[in-house]
Structure 1
Amino acid sequence: MTDRTVAANKRRTQAIAGGVAGALVFVVLAVIFFVVRNGDDDKQETASAPAATAAAPEPATSSAPAAGSGAAASLSPDLSKEPEIKPGTGGPLTKLVITPLVPGTGPVVKSGQTVTFNYKLIPYKGGAVMDSSWSRHQPFTSVIGAGQLIAGWDQGIPGQKVGSRIQMDIPAALAYKDQDLRFIVDILDAQ
């Protein structure tokens, strides 16, 4: 082999090694991105339906509430079943309407607490489910009454008891401004 052939083979080997190294770096960075992103789900407020921002919800890490208030052990078995949600009648809504469906026996939720929920959302007048923690098989956790959620949640959840299932009919002015909403919300825990 000539010096030219040896040099060409060396460059080719280096180019292949560089390409493989670049691909490995990409794979490692992608894995790190997904691990970090999924690991931050509990810490970041990224909820959609109840969120005040346009981010999509990311649920808490399990279908059981966090152990904080001790109320988890006393939750009604009704809260383990996904609720049916039916459209409202009349409208447009002019005020927030809370309808208790399952009475809670736990402590009263206060503004500023971190609360764990299951929820289901439809347009008030009916239609397909717009969002649901049930479809992800994981509850949603957020601070309540601190402006992180839509105003209807910040106004309607404080004062409710842990272990409650409530229906919240939220006027557009307290939601996303475009339409009235109906939520079924299970309050699983508050810390």
Structure 2
Amino acid sequence: MTATMPQVNAEFGAKPIISFPDGPAPAGLKTVELVEGNGPMVRRGDTVTVNYHGVAWGREDPFDSSFDRHQPASFGIGVGQVIRGWDQSVPGHNVGSRLLVSIPPEYGYGSRGIPQAGIEGNDTLVFVIDIIETR
């Protein structure tokens, strides 16, 4: 893992615990595969089922977490159903993988953010994503 990315427990299926390094978020979209799965590869246009945990860079409390709800989410990937950072980072990884993704505002919610969700304008988003299924 690069020095500029947060540290995360790597166990697939475990609720993520994220520790941020000192300093600013890395520039650009960054994806680190913490666990390499051995299931089918996710391709653009697939419907994926994932567990995820999302926080704004440097914050402790998630703005959204399927781990907290105990309910995975399913959606089309690579087809504009989710933010661009997800569409570009999830395809190409296998079922069973745990990803750490740092998403700059231009690949997330931009300068507007989503204040009601606790995402401020220009926040860098960090997601831990467990890929459960693709079809």
State the TM-score, normalized to the length of structure 1.
0.56
Deviations along 1:81-138, one digit per CA (max 9) or x if unpaired, are 2121223543344211111111111121100000000000111122311110011111
Could you tell me the percent identity over the aligned residues?
39
Q: Aligned partners of 1:143, 1:116: CA distance in 2, in Å?
A: 9
Is the Cα–Cα contact under 8 Å of residues 13 and 130 in structure 2 kept in the other structure? no
Q: Which AA in structure 1 matches 2:124?
A: D
Which is bigger in relative contact order (C-alpha 8 A, separation at least 6)?
2
Query: Secondary structure at 2:106's aligned position in 1?
Result: helix
Query: Secondary structure at 2:18's aligned position in 1?
Result: coil
Match of 2:126 among 169, 175, 182: 182
Query: Secondary structure at 2:129's aligned position in 1?
Result: strand
Q: Aligned partners of 2:101, 2:25: CA distance in 1, in Å?
A: 14
The structure-2 alpha-carbon separation of the partners of 1:169 and 1:88, relative to structure 1 and needing over 3 Å to count, comes to farther
1:156 maps to 89
Is the Cα–Cα contact under 8 Å of residues 88 and 124 in structure 1 kept in the other structure? no
Query: Secondary structure at 1:147's aligned position in 2?
Result: coil
Q: Larger % of strand: which? A: 2
Q: Which AA in structure 2 matches 1:123?
A: A
Match of 2:55 among 110, 116, 122: 122
- Which consecutive residues of structure 1, in runs of 5 or more, have no partner in the other structure? 1-77
Q: Aligned partners of 1:148, 1:190: CA distance in 2, in Å?
A: 15
Q: Which AA in structure 1 matches 2:42?
A: V
Residues 116-125 or 91-100, more deviating:
91-100
- Which consecutive residues of structure 2, in runs of 5 or more, have no partner in the other structure? 1-10, 111-120
Q: Aligned partners of 2:15, 2:60: CA distance in 1, in Å?
A: 18
State the TM-score, normalized to the length of structure 2.
0.79
The answer as to 2:69 corresponding to 1:136 is: yes
Q: Aligned partners of 2:25, 2:129: CA distance in 1, in Å?
A: 21
Query: Secondary structure at 1:153's aligned position in 2?
Result: helix
Q: Aligned partners of 1:174, 1:151: CA distance in 2, in Å?
A: 5
Query: Secondary structure at 1:154's aligned position in 2?
Result: helix
2:5 maps to none
Q: Per-residue deviation at 1:79? A: 2.4
Aligned residues: 114
